[in-house]
Amino acid sequence: MTLEKSYFEYPHRSYGMDHDYYDWSMLVDRKPVEWPGGKQLALWVNVALQFFPLNQRGKPFPPPGGMSTAYPDLRHFTLREYGNRVGVFRVLSALDQFKVKGSFAISSRLAERYPYLVRRIVDRGDEILCHGWNMDTPHYGGQDKQEEAEIIARSLKVLRDVTGQRVTGWISPGKSQSLHTPELLVSNGINYMCDWVNDDMPFQFRTPAGDITAMPLSTELEDRFIILNNLHSETEYADQIIDAFDYLYAEAAEQGGRLLALNVHPWMLGQPHRIGKLELVLQHVMSHQGVWSAAAGDIRAAWLDAQ
């Protein structure tokens, strides 16, 4: 056997990254950040309100948490619907109980289908991010750029119309992107995206249409990832988040402001046997004086100010 000669050519083997999206930078080398009010840790709770269509195409890949039986997969469809009907209200109560400011990433198709829920979030004065058209409309490498541009424009138009908010934040379904996604987001008035989980702090990302901020929304600390992907218990979920908080809080005291980014799915943590663990986590975090609970857009703005 022999490989092509090109397999031994390394066109990007030089200083920095192997692409132009962002600069190479180590967290320890960056200017320390102080959050508003002299706080050391910013708590960002993202509540994902997602629509998984029953007629999932799964092309070119199915979304995490999507339909998995033969059609019609009533089981997974209704389990996900549970989050938007029941679970979300438990999550809202938990946020309010501990005075936590949530941010809400909403599938635009969900906003169209359930105006009551959107109105509820808007009336709370909470920030809404766009979570793509629906969970079965992925952005992916090789996608036609015009097609993707149309999806992004439509998703934002619908969500902006329904919510009346500017909507400047974005999370792709499954955090999947094409090579064009960041550029198309900038062209559509988005100024931060949450798909790149390569840091514990925000960082600037370049596109041909201008810069966009990458706000790392940790996958490792996500309820879905810990409980559904890793099959860890509810107790272990709480242990891991509390361990993460304690670590970041201590690191922030030495090295400057840190960000604890928790992605919460009401269809997961909104179940009666799990909601108590979210409450336990929020109680632990909010019992610390140095915590700043804020919306994602406000955290981004404070971070930019500190640069």
**Interface with another protein by CB under 8 A: which residues?**
1-4, 6-10, 12-19, 24-29, 60-61, 140-142, 174-179, 195-200, 216, 219-221, 229-232, 236, 239-241, 243-248, 251
Two tokens, residue 43: 């708590």
Q: Which is nearer to another protein, 19 or 99 (CB)?
A: 19
- Do residues 124 and 68 lie in contact, with contact meaning Cβ atoms separated by under 8 Å? no
Two tokens, residue 286: 């909010």
Q: Which is nearer to another protein, 112 or 239 (CB)?
A: 239
Report, in Å, the least distance between residue 114 CB and another protein: 28
Report, in Å, the least distance between residue 256 CB and another protein: 13
Q: Which is nearer to another protein, 17 or 153 (CB)?
A: 17
Q: What are phi and psi of 66, to 5 degrees?
A: -85, -175
Give the angle 62-66-71 at the CA atoms, nearest 5°.
90
- Give the CA dihedral 154, 159, 161, 162, nearest 10 degrees: 140
Residue owning tokens 């079965």: 136
Backbone torsion region of residue 142, taken as left when φ is above 0, otherwise alpha when ψ lies between -120 and 50, otherwise beta: left
Q: Which amino acid belongs to residue 286?
A: M
Report, in Å, the least distance between residue 3 CB and another protein: 5
Q: Which is nearer to another protein, 122 or 209 (CB)?
A: 209
Report, in Å, the least distance between residue 74 CB and another protein: 28
Of 300, 207, 215, 284, give the one whose Cα is nearest residue 246.
284
Which residue spans within 175-272 are E strands per DSSP? 192-193, 203-205, 212-214, 258-264
Report, in Å, the least distance between residue 195 CB and another protein: 5
Q: Give the C-alpha distances (Å, rounded to integers) separating 177 from 70, 198, 263.
A: 27, 14, 18
Report, in Å, the least distance between residue 201 CB and another protein: 9
Q: Which long-range contacts (CB under 8 A, 24 or more apart) does 199-205 make?
A: 199/27, 200/27, 200/248, 200/258, 200/259, 201/27, 201/30, 201/33, 201/257, 201/258, 201/259, 201/303, 202/259, 202/299, 202/300, 202/303, 203/22, 203/25, 204/22, 204/23, 205/21, 205/22
Q: Which is nearer to another protein, 122 or 228 (CB)?
A: 228
Q: Which is nearer to another protein, 138 or 297 (CB)?
A: 138
Report, in Å, the least distance between residue 158 CB and another protein: 24
Q: Which is nearer to another protein, 102 or 216 (CB)?
A: 216
Report, in Å, the least distance between residue 174 CB and another protein: 8
Q: Which is nearer to another protein, 165 or 219 (CB)?
A: 219
